[in-house]
Amino acid sequence: MTKNCNFIEKLREVGLRPTKQRIKICEVLYNREKTFHFTINDLVKMISEKMNEKISLATVYNTVHAFEKKGYLKEISIDSHKSYFDTNTSAHHHFFDEDTHELIDCDESDIDKINIRKNITGKKINSVEVLVRVASDNQTQK
Amino acid sequence: MTKNCNFIEKLREVGLRPTKQRIKICEVLYNREKTFHFTINDLVKMISEKMNEKISLATVYNTVHAFEKKGYLKEISIDSHKSYFDTNTSAHHHFFDEDTHELIDCDESDIDKINIRKNITGKKINSVEVLVRVASDNQTQK
DNA sequence: CAACAGTTTAGAATTATTATAATGTAGATT
DNA sequence: AATCTACATTATAATAATTCTAAACTGTTG
Ligand SMILES: [Mn+2]
Ligand SMILES: [Mn+2]
Ligand SMILES: [Zn+2]
Ligand SMILES: [Zn+2]
């Protein structure tokens, strides 16, 4: 279990003031075994349920985007209608369960390295990510 | 150049009434050499610029979603903040230019077939798509 | 502890999308 | 051809997600 003072240092390192709201959000996001995926709505719920404090919605948005900019969080595009964030900021692939709308990380070994043959002049590749959409085996597929 | 009567037949085939708005939208979307990517906003502009007719925004949304459901259009998730649609409905990969926010199709030959080793019990794979984010070579990368 | 810059906050504003309900129309029925 | 009816279109209102605003607040510096 990471201590709060670690979060304070971590925030200081990237030039974010260790305010109590940011520390609270760090606790909710990083004080756990595994990385996970969430929406802003999820996060607001988690804060209000797990913590007694209430944080303004604007602050949650601001903080999440500050964290994203500093590389503490990654935004994942799967569904144009919802923003998902990921506390796993490394480059990795995903499964998306279309029944439950759950995102699942792929292990390194699940998918071979992707080889891109095309090269766009004047442009460099920033990322290569695979999205595997899965759904229940029996039901009618979309 | 596809004739309107073809669109009428096409619409009838999938059980959509060939109304003048739907035919108009078909013309804008499919009366061209190559497939392309667009947002609802793009489409509304294209209709009002290319055609003299004005179609209600609600109808554009309804029609695009009707076309999507019938397999005439595909929705692409790249940017959680915007919905992109694709008149190329086949399974294919994309480059996304982060400078211009332009989507570019990958040819079959640009990327090898992806082999998924993981298998999620009770779930079948609906699609496997790769998104390659590119950006200007010289500028600071995000 | 005073001062300042950065931060939080509630609420308003904006944007994208969907719902509503009245009106219009394609295609079938007479 | 006139009528009918289910479905489609429309303008507008409603909703939802996100961002903006401006005032109050707080962490940090000296
Ligand atoms: Mn964002
Ligand atoms: Mn959609
Ligand atoms: Zn992930
Ligand atoms: Zn495409």
In a domain, B139, yes or no: no
CA distance A8 to B112: 45
Say if residues A60 and A44 touch (Cβ distance below 8 Å): yes
Are A57 and A44 a contacting pair, CB within 8 Å?
yes
pTM of the model: 0.89
Residue of chain B nearest A116, judged by CA positions: B111
- Same domain, yes or no, for A82 and A102? no
In-domain check, residue B110: yes
In degrees and rounded to multiples of 5, residue B101 shows phi and psi of: 60, 35
Give yes or no: residues A119 and A64 share one domain.
no
Distance CA A13, CA B92 (A): 42
Looking at the structure, do residues A64 and A101 belong to the same domain, yes or no? Answer: no
| Residue A120 and residue A67 in one domain | no
Query: Which of B124, B134, B142 is facing A125, going by the closest CB pair?
Result: B134
A40 and A73 within one domain:
yes
Q: Using CA atoms, how far apart are residues A73 and B129, in angstroms rounded to an integer?
A: 23
The answer to whether position B72 is within a domain reads: yes
Instruction: Classify residue A142: in a domain, yes or no.
Output: no
Instruction: Look up the domain containing B99 and give its range.
Output: 94-134
Alpha helices in chain B (DSSP H): 4-13, 20-30, 40-50, 57-70
pLDDT digit string, tens, across residues B94-129 = 999 988 888 999 988 899 999 999 889 999 999 999
Chain B contacts to A (CB-CB under 8 A): 75-84, 95, 97-99, 104, 106-107, 109-112, 114-118, 120, 122-137, 141-142
Number of domains observed in the structure of chain A: 2
The pLDDT of residue A142: 42
Q: What is the pLDDT of residue A87?
A: 97
pLDDT in tens, B24-63: 999 999 999 999 999 999 999 999 988 888 999 999 999 9
Among protein residues, the one whose C-alpha sits closest to the C1' atom of C7 is A19
Percent composition of chain B: helix, strand, coil (DSSP 3-state, to 5): 35, 25, 45
Residue A108 has a pLDDT of 85
Interface test with B, best of A41, A80, A103 (most B CBs within 10 A): A80
B80 shares a domain with B10: yes
Do A81 and A101 have their domain in common?
A: no
Mean pLDDT by 10 residues, chain A (142 residues): 75 94 95 95 91 91 96 90 92 92 91 91 94 82 42
pLDDT bin (cut points 50, 70, 90) of residue B17 is very high
Count of CB pairs separated by less than 8 Å, A with B: 133
Note whether residue B140 is domain-resident: no
Strands A84-86 and A123-136: unpaired
CA–CA distance, B99 with B89 (Å, rounded to integer): 25
